Amino acid sequence: MKLGIDVYQGDGNINFDLMATTPVSVVICKLSQGIIKDINHDHNREEALRIGREVYSYHYFDYRITPLKQVEFVLQHRPPNGIIIDAEYVKVRNSAGIMIQLTPPKNYEDLLRLFIERLSAVMPISIYSSASFFDTYCPNGIYWASVYPLWVAHYKNTAPALPYPWVEYWGWQFTDRGPGNKFGLVSKQADLSYIRETKEK
């Protein structure tokens, strides 16, 4: 499998020439969250392509924003090879400056499914999530989710736990504590993944 890294504006001004000397062969760039574009997406994508890496983009699904508004936004900025949908807790800082997770609404699965199915009509879609999150908030995933390739988040294990109903994954994000400076990031830590050759379901 290939080694992948996902990047966003919080990683700062990435040194892609340094990244080119590492085993990373896949770069996954944050495109947006809700209806806010990542300010470094276009630059990160262009630089990753310049150094000959395989490149994908992802959208962080924000359940505070209506699905159709997010569909419209993604379509305005659509990457050429589809989009990965990040399905996880939305995180914000409280009044004390502490990062907290916002509990998804009861109709979260309906919102996510509507968003994904509208986009999948016009572009390739993959889903990023963890078993703990997806199994909790998308209990009916067997009826719709498994048709999309899975990028699963699961740390500190020799093999990842997969959300139901998937039996295989395309990508496995195995750590969020990789050495960021080794890969040219300003941030000290990096999200690293093992990526399969093809996006299997």
Percent of the chain with pLDDT over 90: 94
Name the average pLDDT for the chain: 96
- Report how far residue 109's alpha carbon sits from residue 149's, in angstroms, rounded to the nearest whole number: 17
Quote the pLDDT of residue 200.
53
Q: How many CB atoms lie within 10 A of CB 159?
A: 9
In a domain, 201, yes or no: no
In a domain, 178, yes or no: yes
Say if residue 68's pLDDT is above 50. yes
In a domain, 160, yes or no: yes
Say if residue 114's pLDDT is above 70. yes
* Structural domains of the chain, count: 1
The sign of the dihedral angle between the CA atoms of 20, 173, 2, 34 is: negative
pLDDT tens sequence across 155-173: 977 889 999 989 999 999 9
pTM for this structure? 0.95
What is the average pLDDT across 92-115?
96
Q: At what angle do helices 108-120 and 67-76 cross, to 10 degrees?
A: 30
Nearest Cα to 26, choosing from 201, 196, 188?
Answer: 196
In a domain, 200, yes or no: no
Quote the pLDDT of residue 201.
47
In a domain, 184, yes or no: yes
Domain of 112: which CATH number?
3.20.20.80
What is the average pLDDT across 32-56?
98
In a domain, 83, yes or no: yes
Peptide bond into 79 cis (omega under 30): no
Say if residue 20's pLDDT is above 60. yes
- In which domain, by residue range, is 100 found? 2-195
Percent of the chain with pLDDT over 70: 98
